[in-house]
Every structure is written in structure tokens, then in C-alpha cells.
Structure 1
Amino acid sequence: MSADQPDFKDTLFLPETDFPMRAGLPLREPEWLARWERLRIYDRLRETGSGRPPFVLHDGPPYANGHLHIGHALNKVLKDFVVRSAQMRGHDARYVPGWDCHGLPIEWKIEEQYRAKGLDKDAVDIVDFRQECRRFAEGWIDVQREEFKRLGITGKWDDPYLTMDYHAEAVIAGEFMKFLMNGTLYQGSKPVMWSPVEKTALAEAEVEYHEHTSHQVWVKFPVTAFGDAASDLSISSKKMGLSVVIWTTTPWTIPQNRAVCFGPELAYGLYEVTEVAEGAKEVPGGLVLVADALAESVFAAAKVVAERRRDVTAAELAALVLAHPLRGVDGAAGEWDFDVPMLPGDHVTDDAGTGFVHTAPSHGDDDYQIGLKHGLPMTYNVLEDGSYRADLPLFGGEVIIRPDGKEGGANVAVIKQLAWAGALFAKGKMRHSYPHSWRSKAPLIYRNTAQWFAAIDKPLDDGMGAHGNTIRARALESIDRLVKWTPQTGRNRLYSMIEARPDWVLSRQRAWGVPLTCFVRKGAKPEDPDFLLRDPEVNARIVAAFEAEGADVWYVQGFKERILDGLHDADAYEQVFDILDVWFDSGSTHAFVLRDRADGAEDGIADLYLEGTDQHRGWFHSSMLQACATKGRAPYRGVLTHGFTLDEKGMKMSKSLGNTIGPQEVIDQYGADILRLWVAQSDFTVDQRIGDKILKGVADSYRRLRNTLRFMLANLEGWDEAERVDPADMPELERWVLHRLAALDGQVREGYAAHDFQGVFQKLFTFATSDLSAFYFDVRKDALYCDPADSLRRRAARTVLDALFHRLTTWLAPILVFTMEDVWLSRFPGEESSVHLQDFPATPAGWENGALAGKWFGIRAVRRVVTAALEVQRREKVIGASLEAAPVVHVQDANLRAVLESLDFADLCITSNIVLSSDPAPEGAFTLPEVDGVAVVFARAEGAKCQRCWKVLPDVGHHAHPGTCQRCSDALMRLGWGVAVGG
């Protein structure tokens, strides 16, 4: 600028805002959290929400036993998106966070502390032990509550639900007693998944599968009788002896064998062992029966050669009687001197093994079902610690799984006895997926025990049969007709699980939980009609006692006598001390949260349950079964499921691999909003990946979005309602932006309602960065900075910026809770101000204009060719800025050319001039392959550079203010500058 040239900077409306470019989220977010607490945001929304349609997301309770992991963050942030967006769409959106406080995870932690001190848990008074568990849970609830709040999660944090609250314990007991009264509760003896380490039954949801090395054995069961249908088989095997060969990876179950099953549809053969390979550890011989499809693998494992002699039919197999392989063994005391039947079983396949399945009804569900069908005896050889009963011949006291989770000596002891008995055909080891306890990580076994069950196929006469008259029928009907699934695959998963599941095992042999509040008559058998005491008055007394004193009172000396006093002879009954499956606790939460709380659901049914996909076998499942028994239907109308969190390579996170990322790590480095944005940018229906590289990409998206918001704030400085322009009077560009807002309004509302958070954010991010920052803001900077304050174009642009501000801040508020509060307060400061007290603003119907959408699609396509052509010139340093250009644009389409001629297309392209031509484009003109019929020839703008707006125009220097164009000179006159120096 020359010495005599005035500085026009003060005459421009340059952007002005205190909103910082750098967010500083890790340091600033706690300030907003404290502010929201002072403002009582959540409670104020409840107080003002009267009359709104309610929306209730019922929280699936996490365990109160450790710091949060990234999966917790994913889950709670998704819930927050749902709740906040429902509120801002016009609902009274209620969210009561909760915790699972009972059960093995917490009890196990206390036992670990005992073991570290060398103490015996069983020597401690049970009430004292339970109180320690309660204190442990209370401590972690406080820790986790603060960690959840730090993520920006809204909810009733000062009054959460806890399954160990006295009222909750009373309700859980009351819900259990509904099973007692409706006849679905029974005591049965059947195999359940059992942890010898934890000495308790486990629910399917408490089981995880890991690679495990097991013994595998091929065992010969000698044929001792043939029956009429197998007479031919008898003749052919008289001289050599005949055996059926089974295969198992649990040799310890052989002493409990009571049958061998075959597949009626499979092909079997009679094989003669003709050659034994050198080095074979066993010396099998004679005739054996195996499935044809598996014969080669069986004989290879035994290192023998065998020749097939003939087919064996299913009728022949069914006529055979076998001996137990340990029959007659020295020292067995006749324990296994019984016949073993051959039974057909649909569960038998020729995928692996021998085609014959060794059947121990006490140690497997298929085995148990075969046993029920054919009246096979149950065995009780395995004790709660995973050892054989002491008086079991040969194996008494041998351990299957040791207290440290390692293999005991039972398998090897059985294998040795089989070898000595001449029954071992082959042996080996195999690596396979095997069930483990998710808490102790120790292997599990199937074990026959006396447990309490809920019969899910027992007909119910409870007046709630609108959706079926059994628990299973009601559950399947609910899944099919009453629940919306997101994604829909969740429906199929839960349906197939419930369709095939056995009765629900309700009991656990532990100490920390709600007891099975029932009494059994001494001397009665489970099948006797008076075995269980069913008395509504007794039930009411129990509930009242729990309400006042908590479930610990069940374990206080004399409680039975107190409850039965005046009603029944206490000496005639025994008190049950098993505790309820913790999934029954969480499955009952609908009763003491949705039904009983004032901020629950009016009909006791949640609008949404939202958890990870593992909860199809966990909370979704148990809640469904529990409510179908006590309410007659599912306790939810919708279920949303998300995947798991993996590292950047798609690996499961593991401390041993060193690839875990904690929420606090992300918050400390980037801030909670970046973690929330990671959730929003992810497809939650599949597994999520997270890592430093991914988070850097998220942070970059955040930075670009923040710059868009900062531009809005800076150019709205000093906004006055008197500036507002009616849409009908606006330039077409502004009306196009309003149309885009109208379209987005519907898409955002529909997206949030469908829980498509990724779709919502992608649309808003694309709009903010492409439609606004890269186009509208870029075009309108000149008008906003340089036009007179009262010009229609500038006022219209500011009016649109105001509309953009209100919509973008509220639309993004459910996702970026801290940043949008920062943006909102930058414009509307005040102690009572908060974006989270706002709703999504209504969008006037007149803003929508479909004709503009098509028209501006074409305009922007031509503009893309122009800007790309100018970028080439800038890259080659022909020009420094696009305002130095005045390109010739060849447009073949006459209609499109007419549209461009009706606009200030140079202004849209940020050039000083543009020539539109209908002539054919000369060779070498710049084109883009995706935009047909448009070509650009570069030309420089003629004239001088306006020192105020920097456009290059012929008229610069010919106005009252030297060095300015007509528009800028007029603006200076309006500002009262008079005649400039040298004028």
C-alpha cells in the first residue's frame, strides 16, 4: 500500500469472535460439567416436560466392580445420543442409570482379597461377608458414576437404581415369588454349566469360549448281546469279539456313561483290524463298528489298518447291548457291572469322532435329554469342587479342575484305567474352543446338581395370556410382533435362542445376591404337590421385611420362624439359601425402575433397551423371560444392539497384548467430545475399531467442523433482529441454503429417530464442510466483509447464518455436548443459558423448494469445473488468487447457460469476471470428466485491484475514493468517509 493510500481495514466487517480456534477440551470440559450440575439441566427438563410424549431408555446395568473400559464408553455414549436427541425432538426423555450390584463378579473380588490375606471365606459370617460385598459395590458405583458423567452422559445421576437397594431387593424377591405362585418354579436335577473353581452354576451369559487343549480318547464298548435284529452280526463276530468305538474329549465323564447313541440316518460299517502299525501305543484288535465317513480318521488315530466287512443297519445297532468299558476291572467293586444300551439320537453326526456318542446324562444337555426320553439313571459322582466323590471306586477324590483352574488328575486316571481294561482304542490331545468362566477364566464342566428352574413351557393361567400361555410362547410372540429391532438381525438371534433354550436355571450356590425366598416341606420330594410352601401372606411378609431391612435379613437367625409365625409350623419347613441368578436381578429391573419409579414408564414398558450384541444371551434374554412370566410380554418396545470395540488392526483388546485403550486416556489427550465423535462416526451395528491413528482422523474432522462453527459465530457478531430478511426477499443463493436446511431438518429428525447417528453426523458434516465452508461461506465472505451493513445481500446472508446457527448447534448437541455448549454460550452467554435446554427448532414449510435443488445442482457442477481450472493456474503460480482471473466458460446446454447468465456467476466462482460462451470449447480447454458439456479457458481479469475488496475491475480508480471499485466507494460514502486522501 502506498504511503498516501488509506487503510480500509477498519471499513470492513471482518470476522470477530472470542470462540477459540483451539478447543482445549480436556481442560475445559469439566467446567461445563460443573455448570450443568449447577443448572440442574436434567431435572429442569423433567420439570418442564409435562405434557410431552414420554420416551424411556432403560439402562442395562453394568457391574460395579472396576474402572470403565472403552466398551462402556461406546455403550453409554450411544444411549446419550438416543436420550438427548429424543428430548430435543420434543419428548420427555427419561434416563435413570443403574448398576448390577449382586453376583459372582463382586463376590469373586472379595474372595480374591480373602485369598490374598490367607483367610477362609466360609469361616466368615455370611451377613458380614455380604456387607463387605455391599461396601465394595458402593465404592465402585461412585467411581464409575464420575467416569460416566465425565463422558458428558445426561441422566438422573443423583438417584440411580441399584439392584442392592432395599426396595430393589424386595421387588426382586417379589418377582421371584410370582414364579413360585404361578407354578413355573420347580426343583430338578439336571446337568448345568458348572464352575469347579467358583463352586456354582453359571448362566450362558457368564460363559465365554477360549482355545483349550483337551485329552481325546477313542474307547471300545464291548458288545455283550445282539438281539434278534442283530443275529447275523452275532454270527460274524463270534470268534473275534465286537466293540462299538466312541470318541470323547472329556474322558472324566466315562465313569458316568449310561448309554451309547447312534445316528439312525448315518452309514455304519463292520471293520476288522488286520494290521497294527509299529509304534502304536495301544494294540487294538478284533471287529469294531464305526461310521463309514469317519473310519479313515479313526483308524489313522489308532495307527491300525482295518478292512470293511459289511454294512451295519440302524436296526442292528438298536438291537445291540454293550458292556461299560470298566466292567469287571479289579477294584471297581461292581460299580460298572451293568448293561449299556444302544439308543438312536438325532444329535449324532458324522462330522467328527466315530459316529457313536458316549452318553452320560449327568454331564451334558443332549445326554440329559436322551436320558429323560429313555429313563436312564442319573449319577452324582462329581462334587461341587470338581472332584469325584470319595467313595467312587478307582477314582475317589480325583480332581477334574483344580482350584487354580488347572487340570486335575481325573482325565489321566480314567485313561489309565481304560488302557489297563483293554478298552482304549486310541488317545491324543486336541486344541479346540472350550467354555470358560468369564470371571475366573477357568474351564467349566457340565455337572448334574439339584437346582431351581423356571419351566418355560408350563401353561400359565394368570390372566395375561394375550400373547401366549407359556413363557416361551409369550417371548417368541413378543420378539415377532411387539419389539422393533435395530439392527433387524437381533430379532433372529434372540428368537432362535429362546426357541431352542431349556428351562431357566434360577439358583446359584453363592452368598451375595437375593435369595430364593421360598420354603420346602421337610421330607417331601420335589414332585410332591406340597413340596413348596405357597402362601401369599408369607410372601407379603418377606417383601415387607426386605423393604425395611434388605435381603440380608433372610440370613439372620430366626427369620424363618418370624416369617411363618402364626401361619405355618416352622419346624415342618426348610429355608432355601441358594441365591438367584444375577440375570434374574437385572431381568427384574423393569419392575422396580419402569413400574415403580415416578420417572419410569407409565405402562412399565421401556421404549428402548440398548446394549452390546452379547446381551441377546444376557440382559435382553433374561428380561424377556422374566417379564413374560410376570407381565405377559416383553418389557421393551425396541432393542438396539452394538458391536464390540477392537484395536486398529481389528484385534480384540487384551491387557496381555497391550492394545487396550481406556476412555480416560482418550479424554486426557483429546477430550470426551472426540470420543463421542468417534462413536458417531462409527457404524455401531458392527464391531468398532479404535486407536491413535483413528482418533487423529476423528480429531481432524472435529477441527474442520469447529472452523465452520467459528466462521458462523464470527460473522454473526453484533446481530440485530432488525437485520432479519424475509426469505421471499432473499437472493436465490440464500433461499437455496434455506432449502438445504429444510431438507436436512427432516433427515436429521428421521436419522435420530432411527438411531442412525453415523448417517446424521455424515450429513451434517458434509453440509457444514462442503455446502457451507467450501461453497456458501466462501462465496459470501465478500458480501459479509465488504457490503454496506444495510445491504440486502449482507442482511440476507446474516439472516441465513442465524438460521444455520440455531439448527447446527442443536442438531449436533446430542453428539458434541461440550462443543455445542461452548458455541451456544459464545453467542448467548448467561447463567441460565444452555443449548441443552433447547429443542430442535421448527423449520418453516416455505423454506423447502425442490426446483432450487435441481437448479443449484447444475450451477455448482459448472462452478466445480471453474474452480478446478483456476486451481491449476494457482498451482503453476500463474495467479496468486482466483480474483485475478476472468475465465471464459463454454457451456453447451442453453438452459443451463441461461441460468448462469441470470446470476452473478463470477461472484459465485470468486473471480473478478466471467464470460459465458455458447461457442464450442477450443482444444486444450480445461474439463472435468464428470461434468459433461462444460469447458474453461483461463484469462486474466482486466483492470486494477480494488484496495478494499481485492477484486480486479476496470472501474477501479475512477470513483470518489481512489483505489476502490464502485461498490466499495459507495460503501465508504455510507460509512461517512467522505472524499479520501488525494480525492
Structure 2
Amino acid sequence: MSDSKRDYKDTVFLPKTAFPMKAGLPQKEPGIEARWREIDLYAKLREARAGREKFILHDGPPYANGDMHIGHALNHILKDMVCRTQNLLGKDAPYVPGWDCHGLPIEWKVEEQYRKKKKNKDEVPAKEFRAECRAYAQKWVDTQREQLKRLGIMGDWDNPYLTMDFQAEATIVAELMKFAEAGNLYRGSKPVMWSPVEKTALAEAEVEYEDLTDSPQIDVAFEVVESPNPGLIGAYVVIWTTTPWTIPVNQALSFGKGVTYEAFTVADGRRFIVAEDLRDAFCARAGLEFDPSIQDEVDDVLFDGEMFGLTDDMSVGGRTYVRHPMHHLGGFYGTPRPMLAGDFVTTESGTGIVHMSPDHGEDDFELCKAHGIDPVFAVMDDGRYRDDWLWLGGGDERRRSVINKPFNAPDGPICNDLREAGALLSASADYAHSYPHSWRSKAKVIYRCTPQWFVPMDKPLDEPVQPADAPKIELNGMGHAKGVPGTLRERAMSEIERVRFVPEKGANRIGSMVEGRPDWVLSRQRAWGVPITLFVRKDGSYLKDPAVNARIVEAVRAEGVDAWEKARMAEFLGADYDPEEFEMVTDILDVWFDSGCTHAFVLEGGRWPDLQWPANLYLEGSDQHRGWFQSSLLQSCATRGRAPYDQVLTHGFTMDAKGKKMSKSLGNTIDPLKIMETTGADIIRLWALSVDFTEDHRIGDEILKGVGDQYRRLRNTFRYLLGALDGFVGDMSDTGEIPELELYVLSLLSELDGKLRQAVHDYDFNTYTRLLVDFCNEDLSAFFFDIRKDTLYCDGPASTTRNAYRTVLDLLFHALVRYAAPVLVFTAEEVWQTRYPEDGEQEGSVHLLEWPSVPAVPADRAKWEKLRNLRERVTEAIEPLRRDKVIRSSNEAVVTVPADAIPEGVSDEQLAELFITGTVTRGQGEEVRVSKSTDAKCGRCWRLLPDVPEDGALCGRCASVVGEEHVSG
């Protein structure tokens, strides 16, 4: 029968598509991105969503000082995902990117360039230096902008916001003036984090902590010279410290009122006082041996802090005083130091006695201030003692920066002088602890008391200022936002309770920081930034004149920060004031105040009419709980009575594949620019949206390889859909009765749709991505597509089953391409343009589409879950025969399945189609049995069926399709 050997390949309806299996993303993506620019896709989307419900994500400004790194990439992909999914839902979700351009990050880089040229910044005119900072920032704005566009981030790239724009600088000044006019600024001297290298105060967010293992620790003796307890006179109170450089500015000692202390005598006759619990550890450090046999009557006494004399109400008849180890120098050191009760003193380490330097510690400052002891400002901005300081000042050749390790070493000048004075009891350089460093210069920082400008956290605030175009805030009788307490701390804490934090622990994190934070230090001693535009009288008060402030704001609006110069004092002050009576403040603002004001000039300023105040969402890394989230919260609560956001979403940090922090020195950094060059931006996007970004997460070559595998599965899903739908023009009305399998898959799609919507609401993007990938892999490729490929390839054009299948594929295509569009922005566009090339000619895009309309269809889910479980059992039973090459494919298998495992109404022929086997029979028992079929193989569909007369002949279905007479076997 020669006809039975005919090749029927040309009669099979194989999928056809120009969509390649190989992605070639690095080559394709730039062209797709160029087309988006050409058609101005962002503007088209804004036009399409005009008048819809707004969703405003306000971009937190990254610093413009380097190439995009993997943290930038993750952050912006998440923001892009938020905006794209909200746009997909039909909302108007614009995205205006921004950059932070002032402050140390830029200034430090420009100074680095100066140092390479042996150039001194202080010798360059301030305007010239600021111009270089501005140019440097603009260079990196332009660089990062192109890199982020290449990553597929969609936004108003031609009109970003920059904190160095004159309009922005003017708004920042105007916001500062709101604080000033309301009396919510003051100048005071407090210890603040200070960088001797950068010569400026630092915010907590500008400090990082590094573990040190070689810090100095010393025990120093202070002799008691006066006490209400005569038995203590002549004994030595011992303090322990890890900052020897603070001893030259010591002004008091502090004890714990509830701590038990012990006086004891050692072999050489000296008597020491330390906390009882810490005596043995102290003796071990000092090489002293405690011998109970030589203790006298006084030494046997154990006492609590009251025996030093209560300093709060003097109820114990006086106060204990000690003398400084360097008392022989006279002057500052000749004055006895009081013993003061401190609630912060513990017995966790040291001696239970803490030495107090109000210049260099917050607790020290507050306790000493309460007892009339003022700072002495001995340490200069570069970390050296001032010229006139008695010890280590002046022309002393040993006078060096206090952060210099040799200066504080056990054999350094401080320890040597204390040793010579007989006061150094122990000194070593093996203490391990965490120490603050500037995250820019990486140098150690110190607490340094200097005159600074502060925003008070606990002063009752005035009525919040309400911008004309902002939602009106209902005020209570005191002029405060209704229901919101009156201090800045209380307002902020109230707003933290109201705002939605994702994840929820973010509320506790920022709440604990705001609850315990000191007053906000606004001033910085630098050149590149927005000036603190205040005029201060000789008595320390500052001018609060709205007319003067308005002139300053307008000058900055016209000329930027360079407008604030001494030569214009008379112009700003006007005829009502004498410039000779005022000092012009030269400090600049904390850069966090700049960024904290971005909501004012971006959301309210009118330059971006698509935006509105307040923002629906702020989204940054978890470090911004102490940075931008907090500065924006405080600034807005003080001026508007509420937070500038309703929701806060935070992400963790990206670690290397082993969970280690990335570092250039370790060589474990992952460069997103290189990934885009080698595998494409969509791979980075898929990675970013697949990890649990709310926690610290990992990236590495093997991880990216796994992401690449996921991408290929998604791509192949779309390739199959495009091929199967080649030439399809039908709709659901053409299908007649829809088969149960198609109904089941549509019900799965409907379920997926609901879960994806919930994931968008929850900002749970790794769940969103996983659901999408799993649906394509498990429900479609491994199940639905696998079962229906025979129908697609071999049924005739008039087949109602085939037409119903393709109709459902069409519904799947339109849903899946929309679901995938926010994740795989380039691939989804390629998919869409492949199927609808004419849409490209009409300047269309998948990114202009809205969320799909998915029909809710009835399906017997329980029945199909039972059938899927049975299918898995059959597949597992077939696999050993395939592995042993008894059969080559499941089509050659004859399967017997337990009769009671088959749902009612399912025929053997349907089971064979479901299992992709030759024939199926029903048997008793629980076992699935498989054997090789003896039936002939159809020459067209390759199924082994009883009605095929011999190998190569046609089954009844195939004979009908090709129009040949069928001879049944």
C-alpha cells in the first residue's frame, strides 16, 4: 500500500511565527527604546489616561555622583513596576524622576579632583567652586538618565526634577522660611556627628558603622578631693573609655544611682572605687590583685551611688569632687570635677563610672548642662585641639587630629602623659566594637559640640501652612491639624500610625527613630548647597520679616544659591534695617532638608501638572527610614500638619550570591550595565521582580542563570501563542459549545487575574512574577498546550474543538501580554508588535493597553484537579519505560488506570487525549499499569490507534481532514 507511506507533513497545521526563540535582547532592546522615544510613548500614555483616577509615586532623589549600580537598578525597576501596573489598571500614574544634586556627595567628588591636581578648594572663589559642583552633578544626571532609560524605566525623562534647579532652590529657601517665621528654628550648641576630614556636621543617615577590633581602651584614675563621705577622700575613682582623646576636655564624672560600688585597697596602698560587679575585670586589665586581707574598715563598706552625694536635690549633704589627672597644668584642669548621677550609667562594661565631656557626647552634654557646666569648644573643625588649649594645643608637635590612630594609641601622647601623671591604670588596643564613619570619606567621625541650627522636636508648632492648591487641612481650636498633636515629634508619630507601611515593620522602624531622635540639625559647614538664608542680630535672635524673606526667595529663583552673598545684604534687608546690626548666616542646609522639600516643589509647584499632593506612595530602601522618609515626614508635618505620603514601600539591600555586602575592594559587585550588555535589561527586571525585595536579597551569576531559564520559558510561551494564533480572526461566538478543558483553563486564568490584582495592591511583585511564570509553565506549557497540540496540529479548520482552543489562546494572549508588560517591558513590546505590526505603524504600544477583561466562566474545578493528579500518576508510570527505551513517546503507551480514580462522564478517548497516550482502559485496584501498544501508527498524527490499518496509514480523523478514504483497521 504505497499510499500509506505518503509524507503528510504538508497537511499538518504547524504554528508559524516570525518571533524567534533566541531573544537577542542586548541587540533588540535599544531599538525598541529608541522607538518609544520617537513616538513619545510617555506623553501618549499621559494623554490616554488623562482624567482618570490619579496614582502618584513621588521619586526619591538619588545622588548624581556616579554610574547606576545594582541598587539603583532594583529601586527604579520597582518604581517602574508600581507605575506601570497602576497605569495598566487604568489609573493616571505619572512618573517624574529626580536627582539630589547638593551636599557632600557631589562636593567631595569635586574636592577629590582638586586633590589630584594639588589644588586647594579654599583658594577657589565660592561661586567658581559651586559652578564646578553644578557641572559635575549635571554630568551624572545626564549619564544616569540614559542608563535608566536603557533599563526600560518609563517617565518624564526630558523634564526631571533637580534639587539644584533655581526653582527648586527657591522653594527650599521658602520652606525654610516657613520654619523661621513660625519660630521653629533655633541656634544652639550641641554635640553633633562631625567629620574632621570633611569639616562638617553629618546627619545620622550620612554615617555608617564599621566593626573595629583594634580600638584603644584605657582605665584612668581620678583622685577624690572632696566628699560628704570622708572615707572616700584620697581614693581613686576609676573611669574606662575607648576614646582617650576626650580626656583633655573632661569636666565631670557620672555614677549610677542604683549601682553598687566598692572601695578596695591594693598591695601598694592605693585605694580604688569601681562598681562591685566590675572589680575583677578591672583588676585583670590593670594587673592588680585584690587581696581581702589588706582591706581596712572603710574599704569593707559597699555603697550605692547615694554615697557619692545626690546631685539632684543635695539631700545627702553635698557632692563628691575629684581632680583631673592633669590638674598640675592649672587653669581648666585645676578645677575639681563633680560626681553627677546619670541614668545612662550601666555595669555592662568598664568600671561603672563614666567620664563626662559635654563637648563630645549627647548624654554628657545634657547631664552637664543640667548642672550648669558648659562646653569649652576645645576641638577645631579639623579634629585638632585649638591653639590656646593647655594640653596638646598650641605649638605642641604632638597636636594631631583626634581620629588619628597613633594619637589615641596606648603609646600615644595622651596615654603617655596620663602614664607620666600616674593616672593611667591600663591601656590596650584590642577592644572590638562598632564605630561610626562617614559613608563618603570612610573616615572616623566624632561627636563635636559646635553652634548649629536646629529644628526643635518637642516645641509646640504653630498652625500648619496650607498651600493654596493643597487639600485643605481641618484645623482644631488651637490651630493644629485636627486630631494631630502639637509638637513636631507628636505630629510625626501620629502620622506614622496613619500611613500604610509595606512591609508593616517599617512603621516600627521609623517610629522608634522618630520617637528617640534629638532635635534636627539643619546646618552644614560646606559650600555646595542651599544656604540658611537668615539674618541674625547680635543678641542671637534672627529676623522674621516676610518681606525680607520674599526678596531672598525671588533672588534665589532668578540666580540660584549664588544670590546669597554678603554684598547684597542691604538689598535683601531693605530700608527698614541696618546691615551693620546683623550677621549673615553662611552655613548651608542639611541635604536631607533639600530632599525633604521635594514634595513641595515637585507635587505642588505646578511645573508638573500631572502630579498632585500628597503622594500615594514613597518607595526607597529601608535605610531611608532614617533618611528621606523621615526628613520628608518632619518637613511636611511642620509646614502642612501631615505626611506628604499615604503609603511607604521599602526594599532591602542587594547582596552577592553568598549573602555578603557588595564591595569593590572584595570584587563581588554586580554591574547592571554589563548585564544589559550581555543578557539584556529584561533579565535584570525579571530578577528584581522575582526576589523578595522587602528583605535583603542576592544576585550572582548562577542566580542570573536561573532567571535566564525563567525568561526563556516565558518567551517560549509567547512564541507558542503567536505561532498557534497565526491567521486567527475568530472569536468566542464561532466556537459553539466550549469544551470542558477550555472552560477549566479560563477559570484558571480568572483565578490568576484576581491574584495578580491582589499582588499589585499589596506591592507583592515577587508573588506577581511567580504566579505569572508558574501559570505559563505549569498550567499552559506542561498541561494545556501539551494536551491540545494534537488538536491544533491535526484537526481540520472546521473543528469546533480546534476553533475553541484557538479562541481561548487568543484570550490568553491578550491577558498574558498585558500581565507581562510591566515586568518584561521590551519582550512584551516585541510580542505585541510581532502579532500586530500595523499597530507599530499607527504608533501603538502594548504599554498603552489596560488591564485585560477576563471572563468569569463556570468550571468543575474539583473534577479537573482530580484528572490532573491522575495525569501526573500516568506520566510517572510511563517514564521508566521511556527511560529504558521500551517506548519512545507516551503515544506508544497503553495505560490502565483505576476506574474509581476517573471522574464521572469522562470517556476513555478523552483520557487518552488528556494523557497523550495510545489507548486507555479502566482497571481495578489503585495501580496505574503501562504497556507498549500493538496498534499501528497514524502517518499524520503519529498516534497509535486501533482504527489505523497499518503503520503509515491514516486514522479516521486524519483521513477526514486530508480528504482521503479511511480504511479502518
Deviation at 1:660, TM superposition (A): 0.9
Q: Which residue of 1 aligns with 2:917?
A: 911
Residue 301 of structure 2: aligned partner = 310
1:954 corresponds to: 946
Aligned pair 1:341/2:338, yes or no?
A: yes
1:628-667 pair list within 5 angstroms: 628-667=637-676
**Could you tell me which amino acid in structure 1 is paired with residue 335 of structure 2?**
F
Residue type at the aligned position of 2:159: D
- After superposition, give the CA deviation of every residue in 1:180-239 in whole Å (9 maximum; x if it has no partner): 011110000111111111110000000011133322110111111121xx2xxx24x56x
Task: Give the letter aligned to residue 510 of structure 1.
Answer: R
- Could you tell me how far apart the structure 1 residues matched to 2:609 and 2:112 are? 37
Between 461-470 and 156-165, the greater mean CA deviation after superposition: 461-470
Matching residue of 1:839: 850
- How many Å apart are 1:728 and its aligned residue? 7.6
What residue number does 2:296 align with?
Answer: none
Residues 1:222 and 1:837: Cα distance change in structure 2 (over 3 Å): same
- C-alpha distance in 2 between matches for 1:731 and 1:854: 16
The residue aligned with 1:9 is 9
Equivalent position of 2:382 in the other structure: 385
Residue matched to 2:260:
267
**What aligned pairs does 1:61-460 form with structure 2 within 5 A after superposition?**
61-212=61-212, 213-227=214-228, 230=229, 234-235=230-231, 241-274=234-267, 286-307=270-291, 309-318=300-309, 320-329=319-328, 332-397=329-394, 406-407=404-405, 409=407, 412-429=412-429, 430-460=431-461
Residue 323 of structure 1: CA displacement? 2.4
Instruction: Give CA deviations for 1:596-637 in whole Å, capped at 9, x if unaligned.
Output: 135467651111111111111111111111111111111111
Match of 1:822 in 2: 830
Any conservation in 2 of the 1:252–1:400 contact (CA below 8 Å)?
A: no
Deviation (angstroms), 1:94: 1.2
Superposed displacement of residue 727, structure 1: 7.9
The answer on 1:551 being equivalent to 2:527 is: no
Q: Which residue of 1 aligns with 2:588?
A: 579
Relative to the length of structure 1, the TM-score reads: 0.92
| Structure 2 Cα separation of the partners of residues 542 and 183 of structure 1 | 18
Is 1:782 the counterpart of 2:772? The answer is no
> Measured at CA, do residues 81 and 982 of structure 1 come closer, stay the same or move farther in structure 2, by a change above 3 Å?
closer
- 1:834-868 per-position Cα deviation (integer Å, ceiling 9, x unaligned): 111111112223x2x3x522221111001111111
Segments of 5+ residues of structure 2 without an aligned counterpart are 293-299, 310-317, 464-478
1:499 to 506, 510, 515: 515
SS in structure 2 of the partner of residue 660 of structure 1: coil
Would you say the 8 A contact 1:327–1:334 is kept in 2?
no
> Do 2:492 and 2:643's aligned partners in 1 also have CA atoms closer than 8 Å?
yes
Question: In 2, distance between residues paired with 1:326 and 1:404?
Answer: 19
Which digits, 9 at most, give the CA deviation of each residue in 1:365-385, with x for residues without a partner?
A: 111121222222211111111
> d(CA) in 1 for partners of 2:258 and 2:609?
55
Once the two structures are superposed, residues 457-491 of structure 1 have per-residue CA deviations (whole angstroms, 9 ceiling, x without a partner) of 1111213432221111111001011x111111110
Match of 2:506 among 485, 490, 499: 490
Letter in 1 for 2:199: K
Q: Which shows bigger deviation, 123-132 or 390-399? A: 390-399
Contact 1:5-1:981 at 8 Å conserved across structures: no
> How far apart in 2 are the matches of 1:786 and 1:602?
55
TM-score by length of 2: 0.93
- CA distance, structure 1, for counterparts of residue 930 and residue 327 of structure 2: 103
SS in 2 for 1:180: helix
SS in 1 for 2:747: helix
**Contact 1:595–1:603 (Cα < 8 Å) also in 2:** yes
Alignment of 1:461-610 (within 5 A): 461-462=462-463, 463-466=479-482, 467-481=484-498, 483-521=499-537, 523-524=538-539, 526=540, 531-555=541-565, 557-597=566-606, 599=608, 604-610=613-619
Deviation readout 1:399-455 (Å, 9 max, x if unpaired): 999689743636622222211221111111123211111111111111110000001
Equivalent-residue separation in structure 2 for 1:407 and 1:562 (angstroms): 49
Change (3 A) 1:436 1:260: same
Check 1:714–1:383 CA distance in 2 against 1; reply closer, same or farther (3 A cut): same
Q: Distance in 1 between matches of 2:739 and 2:815?
A: 21
The 2-side partners of 1:685 and 1:738 are apart by 32
Return the alpha-carbon distance in structure 2 between the equivalents of residues 404 and 45 of structure 1: 58
| Paired residue type of 1:548 | A
- Residue 699 of structure 1 corresponds to 708
Counterpart of 2:497, as a letter, is D
CA distance in 2, matches of 1:608, 1:701: 30
Q: Taking structure 1 as reference, are residues 400 and 357 closer, same or farther at Cα in structure 2, changes over 3 Å only? A: farther
TM superposition shift of 1:892: 3.4
Taking a change above 3 Å as real, the CA distance of residues 824 and 883 of structure 1, as seen in their structure-2 partners, is same
Does residue 966 (structure 1) correspond to residue 956 (structure 2)? The answer is: yes
Residues 75/141 of structure 1: CA separation in 2 closer, same or farther (3 Å cut): same
1:566 is displaced (CA, Å) by 2.0
Matched, 1:868 2:876: yes
Aligned counterparts of 1:347 and 1:727: Cα–Cα separation in 2? 79
Contact 1:608 1:637 in 2 (8 A): yes
Shift of 1:910: 0.3
Cα distance in 1 for partners of 2:335, 2:402 equals 36
SS of 1:260's equivalent in the other structure is: strand
Gap change, CA 1:74 and 1:602, over 3 Å in 2: closer
| CA-CA distance at 1:327 after TM superposition | 4.7
Assess if the C-alpha contact under 8 Å between 1:210 and 1:434 holds in 2: yes
Superimposed CA distance per residue, residues 730-774 of structure 1 (whole angstroms, 9 cap, x where no aligned partner): 000000011011111111111012111110111111110011100
SS of 2:451's partner is strand
Select between 134-143 and 701-710 the one with higher mean Cα deviation: 701-710
Shift of 1:798: 0.2
The residue type equivalent to 2:449 in the other structure is: N
Deviations 1:26-58 (A, max 9, x none): 111101100111121111111121221111111
- My pick for the range that moved more, 78-87 or 163-172, is 78-87
Change (3 A) 1:780 1:269: same
In 2, Cα distance between equivalents of 1:661 and 1:406? 34
Taking every aligned residue pair, what percent have the same amino acid on both sides?
51
Q: Which amino acid aligns with 1:287?
A: R
What is the DSSP-based 3-state SS (H/G/I as helix, E as strand, rest coil) of the residue aligned with 2:932?
coil
Q: 1:389/1:38 Cα in 2 relative to 1: closer, same or farther (>3 Å)?
A: same
SS of alignment partner, residue 92 of structure 1? coil
- 1:61-83 CA distances to partner (integer Å, 9 max, x unpaired)? 11111111111111111111111
SS for the counterpart of 1:55 is coil
